Amino acid sequence: MSKIVPDPPYPVFVAHEDLSFEDAIANISSLLRCAATTATETAEGLKGTRRDMACSTAHLIDMARTLADRALDCLQTGPASNP
């Protein structure tokens, strides 16, 4: 009997070895933007707790995207100095 799923399973999505840190962060930001849009659009068709959960998901994604964007800014301009 042969297994349907390899052991361990092969990853469906793999980041290329030559992907730079800056490009990875830029792609993370783009993926998070798409995820936030999906969550927001989904929330529009919901009510009550389900809507609240979808909106919360969109807010959490937006917060993560803000951090990714800040990391990208730091790479491009250098980190801000702390007093």
- Closest listed residue to residue 23, CA positions, set 68, 81, 79, 77: 68
Q: How confident is the model at residue 80 (pLDDT cuts 50, 70, 90)?
A: low
Q: How far apart are CA 14 and CA 67, in angstroms?
A: 23
Domain edges within the chain? 22-75
- How far apart CA 74 and CA 56 sit, in angstroms, is 27
What global pTM score does this model have?
A: 0.72
The C-alpha torsion from 12 through 75 and 69 to 67, rounded to 10°, is 90
pLDDT confidence bin for 1, thresholds 50/70/90: low
CB atoms within 10 A of CB 39: 19
Dist CA 54 CA 35 (whole Å): 11
Report the percentage of the chain scoring pLDDT > 90.
66
Whether the predicted pLDDT of 83 surpasses 60: no
pLDDT, tens digit, 9 for 90 and up, residues 44-72: 999 999 999 999 999 999 999 999 999 99
